[in-house]
Amino acid sequence: MFSRILGVPLLLGAAVAVPYLATNGPEGVTSFWNSLDFSSATDSFTIPEIPKSRLTNSAPQGPGNEIYPVATPLEGTPSVSLEEVFRFDVTKEWVYQRWARKSTALSELGLYGVRVPLVTGTQIYDLAGSLTYFFDTAGKVQRISFKGNTGDTTKIVMLAVQRYGLQPQASSIVGEQLFEIRRGSDVFSQLRTRPSSVLWSSSPHDSFVLEMDLQRSEATTPLAVKLPPLPEVKKQQPPASNATAKQSAEEDVEAEASAKSFGEKFKDYFPRSRVPREQVKNLEKRDRYW
């Protein structure tokens, strides 16, 4: 039976040493044991400080993470700048390495799309939403699309105007900002911003809704413009034939006959000749409604 003075420190040392050894491997056994400072005169000993980086492990992010651990968060590398994301010189490998989760095979007009979740940071002008890169058969980005929210549209508008040359346009929607690159009636790049339908003071980053589609300057395929719904056209009735017109006239006569007042109907069913004379005076009174 070992003494209490030696037993308690050994138990405490084991509680700390096990996770430390699990992260440092067998080669850390000797260095850890030599760093312990036992004292026979006191009931305590000094335990070396373990770096916090050794004890923190990222949570599993999807199937197979225990076999293939990934340190990149689902929303991508944190605190990424807008200029770094919205550019056309990236590759599919660059996208795959920066995001742990991707949606692929989003084909459009012969392009291969890769969609990723995007959170650029925590500032009021940062973006949060879905970002899609469209690659051609040569692996070059031909189009970049984003849909999401922000708390301040100033920075994304400056990027679209100064770097990609979008110009402000008049919008038929109240409160909407519209920026486009046009060639005649065709639209090749577009940015739309509008206030959210519901604004919460506790969620300032969701104050505006963003929709942006950027294409290369040499793009030849315009964007598909969403047209407003067509007005409803009322169906015209075909001209009526003679038989139909005669039937309609008879229906009109029946409708007029049915529109008689209650008093007229009463007199038709009960003529005065059938009413006893002693009741005629009652029929002539003005306070009777027939």
d(CA 179, CA 164) in angstroms, rounded, equals 11
- Exposed / middle / buried, residue 27 (Cβ in 10 Å: 0-12, 13-18, 19+): exposed
Is the model more confident about 97 or about 247?
97
Structure tokens at 173: 């929607």
Instruction: Provide, rounded to the nearest whole percent, the portion of the chain with pLDDT above 70.
Output: 49
CA torsion through residues 147, 153, 156, 161, sign: positive
CA torsion through residues 61, 67, 71, 77, sign: negative
Residue 81's pLDDT band, with cuts at 50, 70 and 90, is confident
User: According to the model, what pLDDT value does residue 101 have?
Assistant: 87
Tell the residue number behind the tokens 């929709």, with chain if given.
211
Q: What is the mean pLDDT of residues 78-91?
A: 87
Q: What is the mean pLDDT of residues 267-283?
A: 63
Answer whether 0.75 is exceeded by the pTM. no
Q: What is the pLDDT of residues 208-259, one digit of tens each?
A: 999 999 999 999 999 987 655 556 666 666 655 666 666 666 676 666 666 5
Distance of CA 246 to the CA centre of its chain: 61
User: According to the model, what pLDDT value does residue 55 have?
Assistant: 42
Is the model more confident about 42 or about 13?
13
Region for 279 from its dihedrals, namely left if φ exceeds 0, alpha if ψ lies in -120 to 50, beta otherwise? alpha
User: According to the model, what pLDDT value does residue 109 have?
Assistant: 73
Q: How many CB atoms neighbour CB 73 within 10 A?
A: 16
User: According to the model, what pLDDT value does residue 255 have?
Assistant: 64
Which helix (DSSP H) or strand (DSSP E) does residue 257 occupy? helix 242-258
* Average pLDDT over all residues of the chain: 75
Whole-angstrom CA distances from 150 to 120, 126, 166, 194, 199 are 10, 6, 19, 10, 12
- Domain boundary assignment for the chain: 4-55, 82-215, 258-290
User: According to the model, what pLDDT value does residue 161 have?
Assistant: 96
User: According to the model, what pLDDT value does residue 86 have?
Assistant: 96
d(CA 133, CA 113) in angstroms, rounded, equals 5
CA torsion through residues 189, 194, 197, 203, sign: positive
